[in-house]
């Protein structure tokens, strides 16, 4: 079985903005390119057809929604080294709770809504230098949910199922 992650997909305008930021930072930091997203639940070793049913239920019970961007921040984890924190609103919590109710017995996942801008190990001076002049949108709009095979390297991540709200 593969390791899957469930992502909130960005609406077209938000996706274009964040793709530009990720692309710029990827070049500046020599880090991998990836699609902008907010992970609802990650690294699940569950049968894909079961995940598809759960994602379909989430989408059927939700509408497109937005979240405010709180701040640009850094972390020590490869997958959370440079990111924007999102305001954890009702819609984000509902999406995560829908997953948690299904997966709590198979895997715990600490939900911290954010959009990663770069993956890697960077020092603070380097991050300060490469983020100069980058305008971060004040909010982000989500328009769907995807299941992504995240078992391989970042450049090989693959969306295997996708539904729009």
Q: How much is the average pLDDT of 5-32?
A: 98
Question: 2: pLDDT confidence band, cut at 50, 70 and 90?
Answer: low
Of residues 117 and 43, more confidently modeled: 117
What is the end-to-end Cα distance of the chain in Å, rounded? 27
How far apart (Å, rounded) are the C-alpha atoms in residues 125 and 61? 44
Q: What pLDDT, on a 0 to 100 scale, did the predictor assign at position 116? A: 98
> Is 133 within 8 Å of 72 (Cβ atoms)?
no
CATH of 4-164, one of 3.90.1140.10, 3.30.70.270, 3.30.210.10, 3.40.190.10: 3.90.1140.10
β-strand partners of 10: 142
Q: How much is the average pLDDT of 28-32?
A: 97
Q: What pLDDT, on a 0 to 100 scale, did the predictor assign at position 144? A: 97
Dump pLDDT digits (tens) for 70-95. 999 999 999 999 999 999 999 999 99
> Is 161 within 8 Å of 55 (Cβ atoms)?
yes
pTM: 0.94
Q: What pLDDT, on a 0 to 100 scale, did the predictor assign at position 110? A: 87
Dump pLDDT digits (tens) for 85-127. 999 999 999 999 988 888 766 677 889 999 999 999 999 999 9
Distance of CA 54 to the CA centre of its chain: 18
Three-state DSSP class for 21? helix
Dump pLDDT digits (tens) for 119-153. 999 999 999 999 999 999 999 999 999 999 999 99
How far apart (Å, rounded) are the C-alpha atoms in residues 47 and 41? 15
Three-state DSSP class for 1? coil
């Amino acid at each position: 079985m593969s390791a899957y992650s469930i992502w909130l997909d960005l609406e077209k305008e938000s996706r274009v903005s964040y793709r530009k930021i990720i692309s710029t930072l990827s070049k500046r930091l020599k880090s991998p390119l990836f699609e902008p997203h907010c992970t609802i639940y990650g690294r699940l070793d569950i049968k894909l057809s079961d995940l598809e049913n759960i994602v379909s239920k989430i989408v059927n019970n939700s509408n497109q929604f937005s979240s405010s961007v709180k701040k640009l921040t850094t972390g020590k984890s490869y997958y959370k080294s440079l990111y924007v924190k999102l305001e954890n609103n009702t819609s984000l919590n509902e999406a995560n709770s829908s997953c948690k109710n299904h997966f709590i017995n198979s895997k715990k996942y600490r939900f911290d809504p954010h959009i990663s801008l770069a993956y890697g190990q960077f020092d603070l001076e380097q991050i300060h230098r490469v983020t100069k002049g980058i305008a971060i949108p004040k909010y982000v709009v989500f328009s769907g949910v995807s299941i992504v095979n995240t078992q391989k390297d970042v450049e090989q991540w693959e969306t295997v199922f996708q539904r729009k709200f």
